[in-house]
Amino acid sequence: MAYQTLLFDIDDTLLNFQAAEKQALEGLFKELKLPLSSATYEFYHDENLALWQQFELGKISKSKLLVQRFETLFSRLGINHIDGQKMEERYRYYLGQGHEPMPQAPQVLNDLSGSHDLYVVTNGVAKTQQQRLSAAHFDHYFKAVFISELVGAQKPAKAFFQRVTADIQAYEPAKTIVIGDSLTSDIKGAASFGLDSVWFNPNHQPNLTEIKPTYEIDQLEKLESIVA
Cβ(161)–Cβ(189) below 8 Å = yes
pLDDT tens digits, one per residue of 101-135 = 999 999 999 999 999 999 999 999 999 999 999 99
111 in catalytic set:
no
Domain that holds residue 184: 5-16+101-227
**Helix or strand holding residue 225 (H, E):** helix 223-227
Q: What is the CATH number of the domain that holds 175?
A: 3.40.50.1000
Based on the fold, state whether residues 55 and 84 are members of the same structural domain.
Answer: yes
> Which of 155, 95, 157, 92 has the alpha carbon at shortest distance from 120?
155
Residues 75 and 111 occupy one common structural domain: no
CA 32 → CA 25, 35, 40, 79, 207, distances in Å?
11, 9, 15, 12, 39
Catalytic residue among 9, 117, 181, 186: 9
Is 176 exposed, middle or buried (CB count within 10 Å of its CB: 0-12, 13-18, 19+)?
buried
Tell me the CB-side half-sphere exposure of residue 187, using CA atoms within 13 A. Answer: 20
CB hemisphere CA count around 161 (13 angstroms): 27
Nearest residue to 125 via CA among 62, 180, 78: 62
Same domain, residue pair 85 and 10: no
Let me know whether 90 and 26 are in one domain.
yes
Q: What is the mean pLDDT of residues 31-60?
A: 96
Angle, CA of 4, 5 and 8, to the nearest 5°: 135
What's the full length of the chain, in residues?
A: 228
Give tens-digit pLDDT for 51-94.
Answer: 999 999 999 999 999 999 999 999 999 998 889 999 999 999 99
* pLDDT higher than 60, residue 213: yes
Whether residues 141 and 78 fall in one domain: no
- Do 40 and 132 reside in the same domain of the chain? no
Whole-number pLDDT of residue 126: 95
Last residue of a domain, one of 73, 95, 117: 95
106 and 206 assigned to the same domain = yes
Task: Tell me: do 154 and 214 sit in the same domain.
Answer: yes
**Do 70 and 163 share a domain, yes or no?**
no
Long-range contacts of 208-214 (CB under 8 A, 24+ apart): 209/183, 209/184, 211/183, 211/184, 211/187, 212/187, 213/183, 213/187, 214/177, 214/190
Q: Which CATH number covers residue 85?
A: 1.10.150.240
117-122: strand order across its sheet: 144-147, 117-122, 5-8, 176-180, 196-200, 215-217
Task: State the average pLDDT over residues 4-17.
Answer: 98
Examine the fold and report which residue of 95, 130, 153 is the final residue of a domain before the chain moves on: 95
**Same domain as 108, residue 34:** no
Q: What is the mean pLDDT of the chain?
A: 96
**CB 191, CB 180: distance < 8 Å:** no
Q: Which of 52, 83, 82 is nearest to 65 (CA)?
A: 52
How do residues 172-210 score in pLDDT, each as one tens digit?
Answer: 999 999 999 999 999 999 999 999 999 999 999 999 999
Q: Does pLDDT of 216 surpass 80?
A: yes
Measure the CA–CA gap between 75 and 69, rounded to whole angstroms: 10
Last residue of a domain, one of 95, 110, 126: 95
Note the pLDDT of residue 33.
Answer: 96
**Tally of domains within the chain:** 2
38 with 12, same domain: the answer is no
The band of 1, judged by pLDDT with boundaries at 50, 70 and 90, is low
pLDDT at residue 81 in the model: 86
Pair (85, 136) in one structural domain:
no
- State the pLDDT at residue 134: 97
